[in-house]
Amino acid sequence: MSVIRHLPELLGFPIKTIAGVSNLTTGNILLEKKLALEGAYITMLAEAGLSMALVNMFHQETVRIARACNVLAQDKVFAWEEL
């Protein structure tokens, strides 16, 4: 998170970043726990300034959280229809 947050400042120009959130966990982990970790992590990455995230489109909870982060990160008043 720290690198994503401070990289534009260190380089002196805006950059785009991407993270593979779907690869966050491996092994035999309960889907409920995996979704909780993905949701928390994508929210933290969005706050740090992440540009794009690779998510498992079948994890609808994670997709909804990513969309909500995207809507809230815009410089405008959000509408519920956008979520």
Distance in angstroms (rounded) separating the CA atoms of residues 19 and 3 = 12
Q: Do the domain assignments include residue 15?
A: no
Gyration radius of the chain's alpha carbons? 14
Q: Do the domain assignments include residue 71?
A: yes
Q: Do the domain assignments include residue 47?
A: yes
Per-residue model confidence as pLDDT tens digits over 20-74: 998 888 778 888 999 999 999 999 999 999 999 999 999 999 999 999 888 888 7
Judged on CB neighbours under 10 Å (0-12, 13-18, 19+), 26 is: exposed
Q: What is the pLDDT of residue 49?
A: 92
Backbone angles phi, psi at 54, to 5 degrees: -90, 120
Q: Do the domain assignments include residue 63?
A: yes
Partners of residue 35 on adjacent β-strands: none
Q: Do the domain assignments include residue 13?
A: no
Range of the domain at 43: 29-83
Q: Do the domain assignments include residue 20?
A: no
Q: Do the domain assignments include residue 1?
A: no
Checking if the pLDDT of 82 tops 80, the result is no
Using an 8 Å Cβ cutoff, are 17 and 51 in contact? yes
Q: Do the domain assignments include residue 49?
A: yes
| Total domains, the chain | 1
